[in-house]
Amino acid sequence: MRRKLLLGNWKMNKLASEAKEFALQSKALIQKAKENNVDMGVAPTYLSLQAVKENASKDMIVAAQNVHFKESGAFTGEVSIPMLKELGLDWVIIGHSERRTYDNETNEKCHLKMEALLANDMVPVYCVGETLAQFEAGQTKEVVKEQVEVGLRGLDLSKLSRLVVAYEPVWSIGTGKNASTEIAQDVCKFIRDVMRELLGDVADEIRILYGGSVKPENIRAYLSCPDVDGALVGGASLKIESYEGLLNNIL
């Protein structure tokens, strides 16, 4: 049985003081999520991770938005896994489409990062999804298959049940243009089938999230799809009221 998961992606938003305030305000909500067997968390910027970790409920998932695969070295501007672990963090988003678009995050690079995270018993949230041009050209499954295969092939099978995959059609991120629930279910099931072929039965334990313009008003429909185990939410995770609405509307 896969537990439901709601993860907010704050992207480049919120000062550390604002992130701390949110963390404090979310305590009762995280308790409610736990009581209802829902895992819930946020991915703040690096500079806010510590403030959120220290002030949120211990049951809140606190995820970084990126990490380097090397432990240390001459990589100006980067942050390593030991640095995150020192703050008590276990979760990292990998391969978000904004990083693929603006920061040359390739499938191969995502693979190296996930390999390093699993070796450190951490949880990668691996984002995949097609662009608008690829969607319109009917290439969604081809693109997603390659992202899944290159990203996951050869990873340590004994640790893969902790992995989370997020299907985020790029054309639906921050645009208000939702993928229909039929598309979300069809592609999430396809991802599970590709993973089953590649990795075996562990595919049934891996949680798959849908992401892209998820709001309190539409979250229930996505989560009622059999292969959608949760949501990765950008804009609607920034205000505590709306973050609360996401949980309340799936209970």
Minimum distance between the CB of residue 89 and ligand PGA, rounded to whole angstroms? 18
Our CA dihedral for 164, 167, 173, 179, rounded to 10 degrees, sits at -140
Residue 117 backbone phi and psi in degrees, to 5: -65, -45
> Token pair of 250, please?
């799936």
Query: Among the options 98, 115, 130, 168, which is catalytic?
Result: 168
Would you say 42 or 81 has its CB closer to ligand PGA?
42
| Residue of closest CB approach to ligand PGA | 234
- Residue with smaller CB distance to ligand PGA, 30 or 214: 214
Nearer to ligand PGA, 28 or 132 (CB): 132
Least separation in angstroms between residue 227's CB and ligand PGA is: 18
Measure the CA–CA gap between 80 and 75, rounded to whole angstroms: 10
- Minimum distance of ligand PGA from residue 101's CB (angstroms): 11
* Unique residue bearing structure tokens 């598309």: 183
User: Nearest-CA neighbor of 214 among 5, 1, 37?
Assistant: 5
The CA distance from 29 to 23, in Å, is 10
Q: Is-catalytic flag, 111?
A: no
> What does the binding site for ligand PGA look like in residue numbers (CB under 6 A)?
9, 168, 173-174, 211-214, 232-236
Nearer CB in complex with ligand PGA: 29/216: 216
CB of 153 to ligand PGA, least distance (A): 24
Find all residues with CB under 8 Å of 144, minimum gap 6, and list them.
Answer: 128, 129, 130, 167, 187, 190, 191, 194
Of 68, 96, 115, 130, the active-site residue reads 96
Residues annotated as catalytic are 96, 168
